A = this chain, B = another copy of it.
């Protein structure tokens, strides 16, 4: 059993790109919050940041989280409550970084994920070793057509895309984040 107490994750809705490569803020998806919170809880992440600067999207995310943590949802399904209690809503990657810095007493390592080849600067095993050493890390997942270039420029490290059985690289962010957390914090690896 592995618990990395200083592993934080974030789902980035801005800045991301659309199909035409333009920088946008994407919409919050209810099931992303549920699925990624449940995966985060499974692998012991310290917090799950939902990042959007849009007021209506922050309100929507807040409403979903409150239903399951303090409303009828949490009574109906306490396991879902335990997961959604990990969620923190943040205006930006930078504000999530500041929040973690306050908790940890030092600035976390910022690690981006991507479905694209050629961006990677650190393998899964390398990040696993950093986490085992106790380094606080914020692991970023993108939405829409992926995070904007500026995020990769700002990141301390970029993980490789998930290599399956061929060249198909169109996993959902829900599934990609689950596989990545299993590779980083699951029990079948040494690091």
Contact = CB atoms under 8 A, between A and B. Distances in A.
Interface of A: 1-4, 31, 34-35, 38-39, 41-44, 79-80, 82-83, 124, 162-166, 168-172, 174-179, 182-183, 185-189
Contact of A183 (B44, B83, B177, B188): B188
A138 B3 CA distance: 33
Nearest to A125: B188
**Copies of this chain in its oligomeric complex:** 2
Given A163-B1, A188-B183, A171 B44 contact: no
A1 B163 CA distance: 8
Contacts of A165: 1-4, 42-44, 185
Contacts of A179: 178-179, 182, 186
A78 to B, nearest CB: 10
Nearest to A170: B79
A162 B178 CA distance: 11
A163 B43 CA distance: 9
B42 A168 contact: yes
Contact of A175 (B1, B2, B4, B175): B175
